[in-house]
Amino acid sequence: MKIEFQPIGVIHTPFKKTEGMPIQPPGASGVKGTAEVFEEYRAGLKDLDGFSHIVLLYHFHRSRGFNLHVVPFMDSKTRGLFSTRAPKRPNPIGLSVVRLDRIDGGVLHIRNVDILDGTPLLDIKPYVPDFDAPAEVRLGWLEEARKTVSNRKSDERFK
Contact yes or no for 103/3 (Cβ under 8 A): no
- 120 near its own copies, rule: CB under 8 A: yes
10 Å CB burial of residue 58 (0-12, 13-18, 19+) is buried
Q: Does 113 bind its own copies (CB under 8 A)?
A: no
If one asks whether residue 71 binds its own copies (CB under 8 A), the answer comes out as no
The continuous run of DSSP H or E covering 129 comes out as helix 129-132
> Considering only residues 85, 107, 109, 117, which one is a binding residue for its own copies as defined by CB under 8 A?
85
Interface with its own copies (CB under 8 A), residue from 32, 71, 93, 107: 93
Position 149 contacts its own copies (CB under 8 A): yes
Whole-number Cα distances in Å, 63 to 16, 76, 86, 129, 159: 14, 21, 10, 30, 6
11-19, 131-139, 151-159 -> range binding its own copies (CB under 8 A):
131-139
Of the candidate residues 19, 52, 64, 151, the single one contacting its own copies (CB under 8 A): 52
Among 16, 17, 146, 159, binds its own copies (CB under 8 A): 146
Binding of its own copies by 104 (CB under 8 A) = no
Rounded Cα–Cα distance for residues 47 and 50 (Å): 6
Does position 130 interact with its own copies (CB under 8 A)? The reply is yes
Give kind and range of the element (H or E) at residue 25: helix 24-27
